[in-house]
């Protein structure tokens, strides 16, 4: 079987595809990952073959920074879910932000289609913003399988996909792309997931966040509770370093009897000044080797951090400011595995109180453990390969 995997050129969108692509290759199948040229090095570092399609000068983070600057963008505020009109307006505005993902797909399309028509994949795998995926699948007449990062907050895009990807579909003579594909692979526990009616196959989340070296001390559980503080990379890449609140979290925990491990970019270290005695710096490393020794995770609400915390059964404090972060924070609190504190409300005092609550209330640890158990009970990527083969035969 040949599988073409498609992704927006943002590492956080590509990374969730990696474990299943590894499993496909380990089972003897051919896999090619296609994206814009700027992502090709990250794809290659994962050990997967990369197809760099389209203009080398296209970079979605550059486009995002420029458009956000033009709009004088402000941090996302929580939505009153009882106000249906406000929820609908906000949902459309956030999903319309995926138009840059459409630009990414449009820049790749001609090169990718030329390759696909020659290579003839049997299946197209894609992440929810990898709109090249359903385009290629529809034009070649092969199954399109959508693999979620986490909470499925893009599924409703199907209700007005013409607003976002209509021009791309029309360019190739299609009425629609069918952005949700033929099957959705879902790693998210039902307690956190939005209940859209789709053909779904649950599967076990396996973290992948790129290569790195983890210091030995990080794998040893300390003699007091450990709190991991991390903040992803999106805010930095978008030029929103002032939104990185990790230094404030460290300040909030300076006098709390905990072991604090800070996992952020090396370029952000200066913002912390001289850290308190209870703080250790680990830099930019994957969270999955570290979280097994942690009692609380404090993060901004990215998909990778949220899902990695869940699979390790660690209660989380989500401090969201971007739209996807807000979704993750709301669903995490709804599912009972943590708390959310909007960035605008994240004072030193509020941060300290929320972390202490997560440490002292056993219900959060218990619920996080239940969510972990649910995730571990799902089919592994290797088992999903067999399921996909059965669906194709």
Question: pLDDT band at 61, cuts 50/70/90?
Answer: confident
In a domain, 138, yes or no: yes
In a domain, 249, yes or no: yes
Query: Does residue 262 surpass a pLDDT of 50?
Result: yes
Question: Could you tell me if 279 and 180 lie in one domain?
Answer: no
Question: pLDDT band at 148, cuts 50/70/90?
Answer: very high
Residue with tokens 């290659």: 44
Question: Could you tell me if 43 and 164 lie in one domain?
Answer: yes
Q: How far is CA 88 from the centre of its chain?
A: 23
Question: Could you tell me if 321 and 267 lie in one domain?
Answer: yes
70-74, 257-261, 322-326 — which is least confidently predicted?
70-74
Tell me the CATH number at 255.
3.40.50.2000
In a domain, 371, yes or no: yes
As a whole-number percent, the residues of the chain with pLDDT over 70 amount to 90
In a domain, 210, yes or no: no
Question: Could you tell me if 199 and 245 lie in one domain?
Answer: no
Instruction: Round to whole Å and give the CA distance between 61 and 187.
Output: 26
Question: Could you tell me if 366 and 385 lie in one domain?
Answer: no
pLDDT at residue number 63: 82
Q: For residue 260, what are the β-bridge partners?
A: 227, 279
Question: Could you tell me if 8 and 129 lie in one domain?
Answer: yes
Query: Does residue 138 surpass a pLDDT of 50?
Result: yes
- Name all contacts of 320-324 with Cβ < 8 Å and 24+ positions apart: 320/76, 321/75, 321/76, 321/235, 321/240, 321/243, 322/75, 322/76, 322/234, 322/235, 323/76, 323/94, 323/97, 324/153
Average pLDDT over residues 127-149: 97
Instruction: Round to whole Å and give the CA distance between 249 and 352.
Output: 8
Query: Does residue 86 surpass a pLDDT of 50?
Result: no
In a domain, 211, yes or no: no
What's the longest Cα–Cα distance across the chain? 63
User: When comparing pLDDT for 390 and 294, which is higher?
Assistant: 294
* Residues 201, 14, 178, 78, CA torsion sign: positive
pLDDT at residue number 50: 98
Q: Are 104 and 10 in contact (CB under 8 A)?
A: no
Question: Could you tell me if 47 and 115 lie in one domain?
Answer: yes
By DSSP bridging, strand 2-6 and strand 123-126 are parallel
- Name all contacts of 339-345 with Cβ < 8 Å and 24+ positions apart: 339/364, 340/301, 341/317, 342/77, 342/78, 343/75, 343/243, 343/245, 343/300, 343/319, 344/75, 344/77
Question: Could you tell me if 184 and 316 lie in one domain?
Answer: no
Q: Are 215 and 281 in contact (CB under 8 A)?
A: no
Question: pLDDT band at 87, cuts 50/70/90?
Answer: very low
Instruction: Round to whole Å and give the CA distance between 342 and 49.
Output: 39
Question: pLDDT band at 150, cuts 50/70/90?
Answer: very high
* Triad 92, 161, 94: Cα angle to 5°: 25
Question: pLDDT band at 121, cuts 50/70/90?
Answer: very high
How many structural domains is the chain composed of? 2
Cβ atoms within 10 Å, residue 86 = 12
Query: Does residue 350 surpass a pLDDT of 60?
Result: yes
Average pLDDT over residues 263-270: 84
pLDDT at residue number 77: 54
Average pLDDT over residues 294-302: 96
User: When comparing pLDDT for 393 and 76, which is higher?
Assistant: 393
List all residues 6 or more positions away from 385 whose beta carbon is below 8 Å from its beta carbon: 20, 23, 24, 27, 29
By DSSP bridging, strand 123-126 and strand 144-147 are parallel
Question: Could you tell me if 163 and 294 lie in one domain?
Answer: no
Question: Could you tell me if 80 and 167 lie in one domain?
Answer: yes
Query: Does residue 90 surpass a pLDDT of 80?
Result: no
Instruction: Round to whole Å and give the CA distance between 253 and 213.
Output: 26
35-39, 272-276, 354-358 — which is least confidently predicted?
272-276
By DSSP bridging, strand 296-299 and strand 226-230 are parallel
Residue with tokens 């590894």: 22
HSE-up (13 A, CA, CB side) for residue 391: 18
Q: Are 189 and 310 in contact (CB under 8 A)?
A: yes
Question: Could you tell me if 327 and 225 lie in one domain?
Answer: yes
In a domain, 209, yes or no: no
List all residues 6 or more positions away from 368 whose beta carbon is below 8 Å from its beta carbon: 309, 310, 313, 314, 315, 316, 337, 338
Residue with tokens 């401090």: 319
- pLDDT tens per residue, range 202-249: 999 999 988 877 788 888 889 999 999 998 776 666 666 677 899 999
Average pLDDT over residues 39-50: 97
Question: Could you tell me if 242 and 348 lie in one domain?
Answer: yes
State the alpha helices, DSSP H only, in the chain.
11-14, 18-26, 40-45, 60-70, 84-96, 99-119, 132-140, 161-171, 234-237, 246-252, 303-311, 323-335, 348-360, 362-376, 381-392
Per the structure, the complete domain to which residue 99 belongs is given by 2-204+378-392
pTM above 0.85, yes or no: yes
């Amino acid at each position: 079987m040949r599988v073409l995997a498609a992704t927006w050129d943002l590492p956080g969108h590509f990374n969730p595809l990696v474990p299943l692509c590894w499993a496909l290759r380990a089972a003897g199948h051919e896999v090619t990952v296609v994206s814009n040229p700027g992502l090709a090095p990250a794809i290659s570092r994962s050990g997967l073959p990369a197809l760099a399609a389209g203009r080398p000068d296209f970079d979605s983070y550059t486009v995002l920074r420029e458009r956000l600057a033009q709009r004088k963008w402000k941090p996302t505020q929580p939505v009153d879910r009882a106000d249906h009109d406000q929820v609908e307006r906000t949902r459309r505005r956030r999903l319309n932000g995926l138009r840059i993902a459409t630009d990414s797909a449009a820049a790749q399309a001609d090169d990718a289609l030329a390759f696909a028509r020659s290579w003839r994949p049997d299946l197209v795998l894609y992440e929810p913003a990898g709109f090249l995926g359903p385009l290629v699948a529809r034009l070649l007449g092969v199954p399109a399988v959508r693999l979620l990062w986490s909470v499925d907050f893009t599924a409703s895009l199907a209700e007005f996909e013409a607003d976002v990807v209509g021009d791309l579909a029309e360019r190739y003579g299609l009425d629609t792309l069918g952005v949700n594909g033929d099957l959705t692979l879902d790693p998210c526990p039902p307690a956190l997931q939005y209940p859209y009616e789709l053909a779904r196959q649950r599967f076990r989340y396996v973290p992948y966040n790129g290569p790195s070296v983890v210091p030995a001390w990080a794998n040893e559980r300390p003699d007091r509770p450990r709190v991991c503080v991390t903040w992803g990379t999106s805010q930095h890449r978008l030029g929103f370093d002032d939104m990185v609140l990790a230094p404030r979290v460290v300040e909030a925990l300076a006098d709390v009897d905990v072991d604090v491990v800070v996992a952020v970019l090396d370029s952000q270290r200066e913002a912390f000044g001289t850290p308190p005695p209870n703080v250790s710096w680990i830099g930019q490393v994957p969270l999955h080797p570290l979280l097994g020794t942690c009692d609380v995770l404090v993060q901004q609400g990215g998909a990778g951090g949220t899902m990695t915390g869940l699979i390790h059964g660690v209660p989380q404090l989500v401090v969201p400011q971007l739209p996807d972060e807000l979704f993750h924070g709301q669903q995490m609190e709804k599912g009972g595995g943590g708390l959310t504190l909007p960035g605008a409300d994240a004072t030193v005092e509020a941060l300290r109180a929320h972390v202490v609550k997560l440490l002292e209330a056993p219900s959060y640890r218990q619920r996080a453990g239940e969510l972990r158990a649910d995730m571990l009970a799902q089919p592994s990527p290797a088992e999903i390969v067999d399921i996909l083969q059965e669906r194709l035969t």
